[in-house]
Amino acid sequence: MCIGMEAQTVSVGKRGALNRAGEIADNYTITPVLTPSIRPLLKWAGGKRQLLPHLRRFYPPVFNRYVEPFFGSGAVFFDLHNQGRLENHDVVLMDSNADLIGCYEAVRDQPHDVADALERHAAAHARDGRAHYYAVRDDRFNPLRDRLRQPDGRIAYTAELAAMLIYLNRTGFNGLFRLNASGAFNVPAGRYERPTIADRARLAGVAEALAGPQVQLRFGSFESSLDVACAGDFLYFDPPYAPVSRTANFTSYTTPRFDLDDQARLQRVVCALAARGCHVLASNSTADEIAALYEGSPDARAARLRVLRVPARRAINRDASRRGVVEEFLITNIEARP
């Protein structure tokens, strides 16, 4: 069951007015409260920074909580934060990746210690990057995360472990996070001449945003959003995309894989939340199975979900010639702003 709370609004300009249903009339204008810009800390497969111009059109002018069940790099959270749209709002950031949540918790709680450790990695990488990368990955990172794993699957990240993950993320191939069959991180070293490893200002900004008194980090499945979200809440879903070809299998970048059954479970959650009265926005690939789940689904139509195609640049593909502009789906029950 969801937890009730009072409605919270963003700043609305003089032309905007609340109608009797408590909604913004069609001629509203939004005056965002801008804060110093914070960029995502981690590179993440399918990160949404390049899609933000399209996503921003569907940020609802009025909402209660903000819930993000696939947190990843957090591009949408940080974008809303930078615009001041989350002030006085409860925020729930979820992910089923225990490393991701553990790292963010350590950054939130110990930003200076993480920054100090990152500077040590930067210095070692400058001396012999490839050797240092594999020494960190195989001799330190994987053994330590195994020791810190909890019975419920969480990983009690320390500042040292968080710095190692950030270092591996900034210098590994394509910024991927991938585990082998034994559960060990196995991404090979990338080829970067001058990778940005230690950025105290960015890390401090991320820590400050995550440390807000109304911000929660949660380890768990996207399905737990059904226990959190109430009518009027805004949820953005950014799942691992369904592959549009055999060479673009994004679901293989994390373990376990996010397969068609998972996509179908997600569709049921999105439909249920939309029917509940939540503001729902989801992105996905234009794979045939996703089109069938949303464009051709009576349940999606009953929940008043619309499917739009928007251009996006895909940066991850085994075949470099196939990287470039593609179409992606936005699935939503929110009216677009001009």
At 27 the pLDDT is: 41
**Could you give the CA distance from residue 215 to residue 93 in angstroms, rounded to a whole number?**
8
157 and 254 within one domain = no
Flag whether 158 is in a domain. Answer: yes
Mean pLDDT of the chain: 86
pTM of this structure: 0.85
Q: According to the model, what pLDDT value does residue 321 have? A: 47
pLDDT tier at 29, thresholds 50, 70, 90? very low
Closest CA to 106 of 180, 63, 61, 159: 159
Residue 338 lies in a domain: no
pLDDT digits (tens, 9 = 90+) for 248-298: 444 444 445 789 999 999 999 999 999 999 999 999 999 999 999 999 899
The domain boundary residue, chosen from 185, 218, 251: 218
- Report percent pLDDT > 70 for the chain: 82
CA atoms within 13 A on the CB side of 267: 26
Please state whether 175 falls in left (phi above 0), alpha (psi between -120 and 50) or beta.
left
pLDDT at 15 over 70: no
Do 186 and 21 meet the contact criterion of CB atoms below 8 Å apart?
no
Question: pLDDT grade, residue 11 (50/70/90)?
Answer: very low
Domain shared by 227 and 92, yes or no: yes
DSSP, collapsed to helix, strand or coil, labels residue 331 as strand
Given the structure tokens 């960015």, which residue do they identify?
Answer: 202
200: number of Cβ within 10 Å: 14
Same domain, 26 and 73: yes
Residue type, 44: W
Residues 45, 316: contact at Cβ < 8 Å?
Answer: yes
Give the pLDDT of residue 257.
77
CA dist 267 and 264 (Å) reads 5
Residue 238 and residue 89 in one domain: yes
Q: Which residue has the higher pLDDT, 139 or 318?
A: 139
> How many domains is the chain partitioned into structurally?
2
At 216-239, the pLDDT tens digits run 999 999 999 999 999 999 999 999
Whether residue 3 is contained in a domain is answered as: no
Residue with tokens 């689904």: 297
